[in-house]
Amino acid sequence: MDKGLRVLDANLNRLREGLRVIEDTVRFICGDRETTLALKEARHVLQGLADELPGGPAALLAARDSGGDVGAGLNTGSEMTRRTYGEILAANFKRTQEAARVLEEYAKIISPGRAARIKTIRFMLYQLEKQIGLDFDRAGQKQEVFYLSKLKVLFHINEAERWPRVLLNITNFIKDVGGDNADIEVVANGAAVMAYVKGDAGEDKEKPPADMAGLAETGVKFAACRNALQMHALDEKALPPFVTVVSAGITAIASRQAAGYAYIKP
């Protein structure tokens, strides 16, 4: 078996798959008919190249050995994470450009003419990557169009002893969806506000405030009800700097729900 055919097969698949992702993004997200047509034509050129190879697509298929691929399953953390449409586009532009370069080099062994056609595709991808980015920058809507909606979550707590569960829920939630993919707010009223003040955090007096501070550094917002603070004779000045005070916890909860926040009360 010609192992070079494995390289060609892998990179033809990689290039076609990446082109399809880019094509569908500019077609359905951007509504760009001209770019969609250019990408579709590039995919047809690649199919023609596969047909022209010695033995055609059948030879590529026979050379394929997915089970023996030593690189299968070797994924980086960033490779498995996409937060925006823009990140999807950027990743697939790089993927297609790299695959096109590999194909161009290996095609030189078979036919300089075929290598030149792949080079044309590679430079088209460079230009499209730049043009799409410039179009959205000029429109001032790059982030608005490409950013996936964040999950908006409100955690409500009114019992001091439930803080460990609330904080654990928030931690697990962040691990699952990623801190950048969620807006998380915590509203405490009733006896729960006592945990904000050092020395009133239950059996382990230091742990809840320390855990809250750590979560606050990741972007979690904590709020205390002023009515509850007054009821428990707590001075607002004694609150940690990451805690904001709202006039009424129940009003804050209602306004967040009206703004589309999911309400969770562990």
pLDDT in tens, 124-147: 999 988 888 766 555 544 444 444
Could you say which of 115, 146, 177 is where a domain stops? 146
The Cα 245–Cα 236 span in angstroms is: 8
Percent helix / strand / coil, the chain, rounded to 5 = 65, 10, 25
All residues at 6 or more sequence positions from 32 whose CB lies less than 8 Å from its CB, including other chains: 26, 132
All residues at 6 or more sequence positions from 111 whose CB lies less than 8 Å from its CB, including other chains: 52
- Give the pLDDT score at 141: 47
- CATH code, domain carrying 124: 1.20.1260
For 188-224, write each residue's pLDDT tens digit: 999 999 999 864 444 444 456 788 999 999 999 999 9
Tokens of 130: 């730049």
- Give the pLDDT score at 201: 43
8 Å CB contact between 149 and 59: no
For 9-63, write each residue's pLDDT tens digit: 999 999 999 999 999 988 988 888 888 998 999 888 888 888 887 788 888 888 8
Answer yes or no: do 46 and 140 share one domain: yes
- CATH code, domain carrying 257: 3.40.1260.10
All residues at 6 or more sequence positions from 229 whose CB lies less than 8 Å from its CB, including other chains: 193, 235, 236, 239, 245
Q: CA-based angle 76:79:80, to the nearest 5?
A: 100
Answer yes or no: do 139 and 11 share one domain: yes
Domain of residue 204 covers: 151-264
Q: What is the pTM of this model?
A: 0.53
Answer yes or no: do 138 and 21 share one domain: yes
Q: How many CA atoms lie within 13 A of 230 on its CB side?
A: 8
Answer yes or no: do 112 and 54 share one domain: yes
How many folded domains does the chain comprise? Answer: 2
- Give the pLDDT score at 79: 65
